[in-house]
Amino acid sequence: MKRGKPVWGLILLFLCTALVACTDNSAKDNAIVKDHSERAAENREPKKSKQEITLTAVGDILIHERVYEDAKIDGKYDFMPMLEHVEPFINDSTVAFANQETMIGGDELGLSTYPRFNSPHEIGDALKDIGINVVSLANNHTLDRGEEAVDQAIEYWKFIDMMYTGAFKSQEDSNIIRVLETKEGISIAFLAYTYGTNGIPVPTGKDYLVNLIEKQHMADVIALSLHFGNEYERMPSEEQKELVQFAANQGVDIVLGHHPHVLQPMEWVIGKNGNKTLAAYSLGNFLSGQYELYRRIGGILHVTITKNIRGEIEVIAPQFTPTFVKFQDDDTDYEVLPMYQLSNNDLAGSDMHYEEIKAHMSQWMPELEFLEK
């Protein structure tokens, strides 16, 4: 359903409030700072003239019943066979982000599928195993199974030491800023926001459960996760473009979009101060049980972030690896495969489809490189 400008105006107001708040240095007192350094600070190498990290991001993890049933083995769930072909594109990145669209409330609550999802804990384990270290929980399915599912999911993310953002257990939790530190001395703040919750009302007095956005200026890089746009549309809407422009004007460095369930082109958006924002309007479905061709195609975004001795940050060298969800006619053997590895047995006309996706994604960014390993 199309949402009009009054709704987007309200979103812009919330976003503006959060971004302005981030310029307050007192925000440092309310931050979760996760240090992903592998060595203690005193053992770090001397600073180079320019430090560099890589950020990888994937789109929607949308676990339909046919997907989790395919992962079921002896009463438990193993999603790793579905993801092993794309693990090499993720696990060597400094920071890796995913949009976990379905709450992983676990078996005890009763698993469920569309329209109100609840997924196994084990999808969290698989994401952790392939190298994901930040997940967004803010999306239109966050409240599908209510507060209990959100609480159970967050408890599990905490148990496996996964940074989460966009949905929270309490107001105190929502007030805490999420910052991921790297051994290279570059920090990234992760924000997350969704347009709504499919008409499910947020419980009175519990706005922290979803629809929140957080940020701070103690981080070098601002990565904004936005659950927005129109489902199944392959081009961003005017509302998407307006919100990304607004985010660019506020100094956001990277926008990681999801919700349309199909890939949308990427572009650089110029902010009011001449800054550049990398806009990935929609990264499509990474793993889901949707059938239509373009809903089976997603991708892995790779970017490099540099910081020089003056503390100046650059987001450079975007690369993209299109992916495809392969499965059998009887809804078994789900796998996520890099598209360049597909044969005609996997997808008729695979080479043609791969070239079409590359052209689609790079139409506003001709310099976009496509990573093949």
- Written as one string, the DSSP assignment of 225-272 is EEE-S-TT-SS--HHHHHHHHHHHHTT--EEEEESSSSB--EEEEE-T
User: What pLDDT is recorded for position 196?
Assistant: 87
pLDDT of residue 47: 56
pLDDT-derived band of residue 239, with 50, 70 and 90 as boundaries?
very high
Q: 195 by DSSP, 3-state: which?
A: coil
Q: In the prediction, which pLDDT does 294 show?
A: 98
Q: Find where tokens 């496996």 sit.
A: 160
- The pLDDT assigned to 219 comes to 85
pLDDT tens for each residue of 173-183: 998 889 999 99
d(CA 239, CA 247): 12
Taking each helix axis from N to C terminus, what angle separates 238-249 and 5-22, rounded to the nearest 10 degrees?
20
**Three-class SS state of 14:** helix
Nearest to 228 by CA among 62, 63, 11, 64: 11
State residue 218's pLDDT score.
52
Q: Which of 54-58, 188-192, 361-365 has the lowest mean pLDDT?
A: 188-192
Q: What is the pLDDT of residues 55-108, one digit of tens each?
A: 999 999 999 999 999 999 999 999 999 999 999 999 999 999 999 999 999 999
Local structure of 16: helix, strand or coil: helix
Percent of the chain with pLDDT over 70: 85
pLDDT higher than threshold 80 for residue 28 = no
Using alpha carbons, list the distances in angstroms from residue 252 to 5, 297, 320. Answer: 22, 27, 20
Inform me whether the pLDDT recorded for 14 exceeds 80: no
Q: Are the C-beta atoms of residues 334 and 287 closer than 8 Å to each other?
A: yes
* Phi, psi dihedrals of residue 352, rounded to the nearest 5°: -65, -45
Confidence category of residue 334, pLDDT binned at 50, 70, 90 = very high
d(CA 70, CA 327): 10
Q: What is the pLDDT of residue 249?
A: 93
Least confident residue range of 66-80, 215-229, 283-297, 305-319: 215-229
Q: Cα torsion for 256, 55, 166, 120, to the nearest 10°?
A: 100
Which residues have a Cβ under 8 Å from the Cβ of 47 and sit 6 or more positions away? 185, 309
Give residue 372's pLDDT: 97
Tell me the C-alpha distance between 34 and 11, whole Å: 28
Q: Which domains does the chain carry?
A: 5-370 (3.60.21)
Task: Write down the mean pLDDT value for the chain.
Answer: 89
Rounded distance, CA 98 to CA 300, Å?
10
pLDDT score recorded for residue 36? 54
pLDDT at 212: 42
Could you tell me which of 333, 244, 347 has the C-alpha nearest to residue 289? 333
Query: Going by C-beta distance under 8 Å and a sequence separation of 6 or more, which residues neighbour residue 222?
Result: 22, 188, 189, 191, 215, 251, 252, 253, 254
Q: Is the pLDDT of residue 241 over 60?
A: yes
**Residue 138: pLDDT over 70:** yes
pLDDT band at 287 (very low <50, low <70, confident <90, very high): very high
Of 36 and 326, the structure prediction assigns the larger pLDDT to 326
Residue 269 has pLDDT above 80, yes or no: yes
